Structure 1
């Protein structure tokens, strides 16, 4: 399968941006990487209360199939992390490199 990259923009609930970033870094990133995803970077836009990041997957499955594996993982469930507790809105865009 070709490499698929998504640019994800999350609008975070007021007052929870730093907590979200910490949990993302400590819990989400390690599991994503364990499952073969690559993280291309992450940024905080404090003015808009947003968190932006690049996630990619290149392997024998599609991005969607691998993402479903992430969500059904017992390790993911053990996090006790419900994105709805932190995120007001999410935007996921599949992008390709132009440079």
Structure 2
């Protein structure tokens, strides 16, 4: 099964990088995994105040459909997490594994 993988790069507001990582790890990751996503890893680039991570979905729906389900879920709403409070800029790239 093919699937889709995205490399996501987030530029985080000054002073909030570690807090963002904790919220991502404790709130976002469990729900993403529950909904069938895979997390391929996550990194911080402190020099650029950026958070980078790989997210994949290889299910019966498209990535976009499953992502919409994530955002609309009651669990996501209950997080009380507004990404704009932490993130200045986001960039999502769809990538293909070659090695």
The RMSD of aligned alpha carbons is 0.7
Q: Which aligned pairs between 1:28-67 and structure 2 lie closer than 5 A?
A: 28-67=28-67
1:97 aligns to what?
97
Which 5+ residue runs of structure 2 have no aligned equivalent? none
Aligned length: 99
Distance 1:66 1:3 in 2: 11
Which 5+ residue runs of structure 1 have no aligned equivalent? none
Distance 2:69 2:97 in 1: 25
2:85 aligns to what?
85
Q: CA deviation at 1:2?
A: 2.5
Following superposition, which runs of at least 4 residues in structure 1 exceed 6 angstroms of deviation?
none
Q: CA deviation at 1:98?
A: 1.1
Give TM-score scaled by structure 1 length.
0.98
